[in-house]
Structure 1
């Protein structure tokens, strides 16, 4: 964890502010939502990801580090989904810390109802929208489920929402904030400057 991310962790632990993270480079930005659930028990974060392959890759990296993570998507069996739903509704909270899913899967009533139960019991810590530019760029055409993320505010009014993206324009930022109904998010933007990197140009007559 580096730079702006390290500075932001105390604020995230307080769970009082929503976050809009716009790093110049993708410096393990996922750590800012993977870390906080481990500071409270029971607690878990719902990570909304655009691609199954990306979701699987992140989950496997979590498991390799000993972080309890599960997926709820179209690749999961009905048995796996039932187990996750059961854990979410349990009074002691789920055993996992991260729940990776897609906007489309959030439409499923059984997952939504289980998350509402977890919210009422106090184990739902936050939502993290990974690759948040997809909300604006994809939500208006072939993945309308992204626009339906607006309902998170109504169903989970006190749960913080973090929007994370490696790059987006000011217009896309405004669109994301409007769709997700982010109230007064803390905007975190890392500099593109990397003091540990240097670019040198060498004149040469050779062809490569």
Structure 2
């Protein structure tokens, strides 16, 4: 849904580079993202909960993210509305990133991982360092980390051959069953925005899987 180095990441990097607020404060970051003309970042932050924002922020490799060239520390961003003035610079410099974000955001789809669960498990058993931690592995992929999992009580991960869960604090993954899908409904009301849409997409798949499991037990 959101690629690495998207216009959202660039907006966060620009606020961070300016150094005028604590990045832990979602509302403050949103305020300055607006002042800098990063409206896509503002929209993203409006939909994300504080936990979703923090999880997203922790998985951005800022060393790889560009920033807005025109960042003047002498500008008083508290004085008047600088957003439309700054937006001109954002659109001139990041036209392609804005276009890509809008296209991807409208689709709202989850991307499959390039390997299956069985392949990942085999590579991990072989002692391949890059596959030892599933979250670290996901974060090396070309699409953004948030394309591949969302956090409720557990993390849901989509692979080519289905959906899997990874319990927080552990690096092993298990097939997502109808039973675990049902238990996850209790946490779904805590999701916001793009994570809510991803959960609904998983719901469609798991509803079918649950029916299949019920049929197989008869």
TM-score (norm 1): 0.25
Structure that is richer in helix per residue: 2
Q: Which has the larger radius of gyration?
A: 2
* TM-score (normalizing by structure 2): 0.24
